[in-house]
Every structure is written in structure tokens, then in C-alpha cells.
A and B are shown apart, each in its own frame.
Chain A
Amino acid sequence: MSPILEIRNVTKKFGGLTANNDISFDVAPGEILSVIGPNGAGKSTLFKQIAGFEKPTTGEVRFKGERISGLAPHRVARLGVVRTFQETTIFRSMTVRENVIVSHHLRSRASLLGYFLGTATARADEAEFARSADEIIDFLGLGAIRDELASNLPQGHLRALGMAIGLATQPQVILLDEPFAGMNHDETMRMVALVRRLRDERGVTVLLVEHDMPAVMKISDRIVCINFGEKIAEGSPAEIQANPRVIEAYLGSEDAAIGM
């Protein structure tokens, strides 16, 4: 099967600092792939380049064979690669439902003028967005809080809302930035199940950056480990756990960090 996403020799420099150095790997359709690495290894920078928020200094990112690195974020999103955010970024003063409805932007068929005038297409769009938003909200189990203001939500719900926003765009590849951060064990396990369902029921390819090693080992089909901006290992969770370079990267806290 040809890869849905190809990361090809991506290098990113900020002045004298090399955040990513010649990173390459493929993501297969329907895969759950985690990118791990110690703090400051360059994981988020890599994500930003995939989603179009940063342009690689050299190298490129291809989606279904088409180059997407260097495109504006909204163009990348339009193609089907959507990023959720590390800092639980949501539209704070909208309700959960409004958040999800507004995020259906990519599916709109009416023009902005059409929305202003309230044409038949625009009204059909709005009805469809509302229906789809309710469906996504139910899928993620957010039904009870759909009319709650987003700024009032606890951490776990915010994370799910971020995912709902991502799903509303109907992505083919979703980039989850630390979906389990700050969660207790139960919340993490619920989230792991959710991410699985995302892939199994909706066919979304999932790429995630994460620190929570037990969760990563549990959820991932494959793992890419980077350290100091370079890829040091790639493989199945079992291979990664046994990889001496990975252990070295987490040295000093290897048992705790790798979670075994």
C-alpha cells in the first residue's frame, strides 16, 4: 500500500538552531503512528511543518504523492491533513456545539456572500453542519455538555472537543498533539479507546506526538523516535522498547519513561 503521508528529508533551522535534521518516514493509510522523543526533541516543530504552520528549511512533506509542505495551513487542511493543538486550543467563548459547527468550514458549498444573503445552499449547509456536529458530539460522548461554554470545560473534555473540531473538517490524516497530556489513568484509557475508534470507525489515519509512554505503547501501530532533531529509531512498539538508542535517549529514567 502506498503511504498516505511521506516525510522526506525534512530539516528545519531556526537561525543557528537545528530543530529537525533530515527526518524521513512514511505513514500508511489507516495507521496510528506516534512520534516520541524527550522534551525539545523537535516533535512539535515536525508537526507544524506537516500541517503547514512552518515551512521546512529543506526537504518536503507529501500527502498522497502531492507536496504539501510550504502550503498555507488552510490549504493543507483542505486537502485533508488537520492538526489539533498542544495547548488545548479551542474557541473559548463559543459553546461546544458552536465550536464544532463553525469547524465545518471546509465542507461549505455556499460562498461567504451566499451565507450573508441566506441562499438555499447556505441554509442547506447550515442544516447539514448542525446535523453533522451533533453526530460528532455524540460520537465523542460530549452530548451532555453540548451547550456548555468551552471556556468552562475541564481538561479532558477540552481535549475531546479539540478532536471534535478536527473531525468536523473530515480529515484523512489527523495530527494529535499530546492528546493524553495532563490526564489521569482512566481519562487516558478512555482517550486511547477514542483514538482507536477514530481510526476503526472513521478510517482516519492518526499521527500523534505524546509523552505518555504506556499510552503510546498501547495505541501505536508504529513509533518514530526523535532526539535532538534527528530520527533515531522507527518500528513497532516492541522494537522501540528494545532499541538501545531509544533507551539511551531516555537514560536516567528509562524504566519510568518507557513504562516497562
Chain B
Amino acid sequence: MQNQPHAAPLAAGKGLTMPKMLGVAAFLAFVFAAVPMFIAATGRWDFYYTLTSVALLSIGAAGVWLTFYIGRINIGQGAYALAGGYVSAVLITQAGVSFWLTLPLAGLFCALISVLIGLPILRLRGVYFAMVTLVLTEVARLTALALPVTNGAKGITSIPLPGGVSVFGITLIPDFATLQNPRQAFYFAAIGLMILVYVILWRIVNSRLGHLCRSLQQNEELSASIGVNTAWLRIMAYAISSFFGGVAGAMFVSISQSIYPSSFVVQDSVNFMLYCFLGGLGYVFGPMLGTLLLYFGWDLLSVAGKYQLLIYSGAMITLMLVLPNGVLSLFDRKGGGK
């Protein structure tokens, strides 16, 4: 997955051309066959957990990227990840709802509250919007501490693993508790979810919907005067973004089987944004690559001991100076655009 074989061809333009399809096929073969084989051969089972985290974080980052795409700096995805996680946890432990059903429900819940929050705050632009979203994560944490249903600082623990799903006696998803290797199952589930999210995102960006979002990003006034309902479009994009955040949060909770008010903090919100910056705001697959690079980059730098943060921050600053359009701009020979 480190090579991101699909990234360059997919970044080049729209429409499914032959090299792109080959790239996608190579990517699928890599994540679903090569990675499991590599892990089985080396016995590094912990890689599953790492890659699962990357996949889930990149789902959240996909949402943040979409808000960037309409011209808003979103530093509040942690709030929705936390909210989604709690919705899933509460529904599973208190209402006995199947985890797989809580996944979309967590997303919908987040989309709904993001509409309520977005109505007033999406009028703000630039740094003002960014500041409000930054505060959102802290508000979400304090809310989780205060509400009775979230069980305060003790959080919700011992959440059962996802159960099985079967239709007409055919098992679609096995019960995770009966699996001898739930890590691998989570990996496949997370990767599947990530692919689904990025297919949706890719489709949004390359349909007329995406062009309207770009018009919003570049000039909201002009966008309104050509007849675009800008307020509605902003809310839509923000709701989809928060939906992704909620889904990612819910999936995280099922893996750690617990959630606390501090499960997602301001640092996570900032990270979601950094993943987008690093990968490239002009590229659909930017947040995916950004998440991978930053997540592994941080881990690899642990050899530097106490200098880890210093080197990491220095590298980030350098990257933003040298590659303001993100790492994916390296592959983009046209310069600019998707």
C-alpha cells in the first residue's frame, strides 16, 4: 500500500481510461491479496491494525477534503468521529442493534447534526469557519462528558464485536467473535468501506456536482448569481463530510470495543486536516495518500526518540513549502486541476 500504485493515473483527469482501470485493479489486488500474503509471510499481524487505522482515518479525511473542496477549512472532523462512535456504541450496548446497522445510522446522525450546526456556521468563511470547527471537537468532548447516555469519563467499554449478517441463511458477513483472526476481518471491512467512500467521493467530484462545488470554492458570489443555491450546496457537502466522519468513528469504536470522551480530540481533528493538505487538496485520492504517509511517517520517526516531533513538524513545514499542492502534485504533469 505504500506505493499507492493507482494514485498517479487516477489523478490525471476524468473518465475511466485503460491505465486507470489497470491502476484500480492493481490497487485492489494489492490491498486484498498482496498485503494479507505479506502479513502472513512475515507474521507482522500488527500491520493489520495499523493499515485498518489508516483506512478509517482516510475515510474521515475524505470528508474533510470535501469541505475543502467547497472552500471551507474544516478542523472539526474529530467531533463527528466522536459522535458517530458514541451513536454506534450506545445503539449496540443499550438497544442491541447490529453493528452493521449502526454504521449508517452513526453516519446519518452526524449528517443530521452537521446540518443543524452548519446552518449558522457555514455562512462564515476562511479562518472564522476554521476556528468554529476547531472548537466543535472540544464541544463534542465536553458533551460526551456531561451526557448521562454516554456514561461520562468512564466511557462505554466491553462493546461486543460486530455480529454476523445473513440473508436467507447465506452468511454475508461472519460473526467477528467466532473468527480466529478478527484483525484481518476488520482490515477487510475497513478497506472495503474506504474504497466505497472514495468511489462516492470520486463520483461527486467528477460529476456536475463537483463542478458546482468548485464554483463555490472559487467564487461564492458568482456561483449564486448563476443560480446555484450556495447555502444548500454547502450544507449538502458538509453533511456528506460529517457522514464520513461518523462512519469512520463508529468503525473505530467497534475495533477498540470501547469509547471515551477523549477517543477523538482536537489533535485528531487537526490531523484529519493535515492528511488532506499533505496528500493534495486538488486530488480526490490526496487524503488517502496523506493519511498513509503521515501515519507511517510518524511511526517510522519513533526511532528518532525525543526528536520525533521536531523532525515530523519540520518535515511537514518543508513539504508544505515545497509542495503546496500536496504530494500528488508530483505526479500531475498538467499542473493544477484534478
Contacts and interface: CB of A to CB of B under 8 A. Distances in A.
A165 B222 contact: yes
A105 interface: yes
B203 A165 contact: no
B208 A73 contact: no
Interface size class of A (residues with CB under 8 A): 35 or more
B229 A91 contact: no
Contact of B226 (A112, A122, A168): A168
Interface of B: 203-204, 207-209, 211-212, 214-215, 218-219, 221-222, 224-231, 233, 236, 336-337
Contacts of A94: 211, 214-215, 218
Nearest to B224: A73
A89 B208 contact: no
A102 B229 CA distance: 13
Contacts of A228: none
Nearest to B226: A103
A183 interface: no
A82 interface: yes
Contacts of B230: 74
Contacts of B204: 116
Interface string A217-248: 00000000000000000000000000000000
19 contacts: A51-B225, A53-B221, A72-B229, A73-B224, A77-B225, A83-B225, A89-B221, A91-B218, A98-B211, A101-B211, A105-B227, A106-B226, A112-B212, A112-B236, A115-B207, A125-B208, A149-B336, A168-B226, A169-B227
Contacts of B337: 93
A122 to B, nearest CB: 7
A212 interface: no
Contacts of A115: 207-209
A93 B225 contact: no
**Chain B CB within 10 Å, residue with most, of A92, A93, A105:** A105
Contacts of A165: 222, 226
B227 A78 contact: yes
A168 to B, nearest CB: 7
Contacts of A84: 225
- Counting from the closest, the 6 A-B pairs by CB-CB distance are A106-B227, A77-B227, A73-B224, A115-B208, A103-B226, A91-B218
A132 interface: no
A127 B233 CA distance: 23
A85 B214 CA distance: 19
A53 B336 CA distance: 32
A7 B203 CA distance: 44
Contacts of B226: 77, 82, 102-103, 105-106, 165, 168-169
